[in-house]
Amino acid sequence: MTNEVTFNILGASFTITAEEDEVYLKNVLSQYKAAVKNTENISGIKEPINVAILTGFLLCDEINKIKKQLENESIEVQERTLNLISKLDQAFGNHDIRD
């Protein structure tokens, strides 16, 4: 089922149709509006197109930082897992535990 959300931001009106539910879409819209307001506050920029572009850039920066953090955490989990496997191998005398 598709849902539509219409919103006005930075002097422009948009209607978005998506598979996600209306609550989700409104949540995303709320986050974007907060990001736009934050961009306006920290930059002092008032031209809508410039605010939208800078907001998009800042959101992409945030996404990339989160991705990098998740990748680093994944590497750490892999390293811990290999360390545990190594310790288990030592504890079981390097035998296949299925034996």
Which pLDDT does position 91 carry in this prediction?
Answer: 86
Amino acid at 82: L
Which pLDDT does position 96 carry in this prediction?
Answer: 56
Task: List, for residues 38-94, the tens digit of each pLDDT value.
Answer: 999 999 999 999 999 999 999 999 999 999 999 999 999 999 999 999 888 888 886
CB 5 within 8 A of CB 29: yes
CB 56 within 8 A of CB 39: no
pTM above 0.85, yes or no: no
Domains of the chain, by residue range, sit at 3-91
pLDDT at 99 over 60: no
Task: List, for residues 13-44, the tens digit of each pLDDT value.
Answer: 999 899 998 899 889 999 999 999 999 999 99
Listing DSSP states for 58-83 in one string gives HHHHHHHHHHHHHHHHHHHHHHHHHH
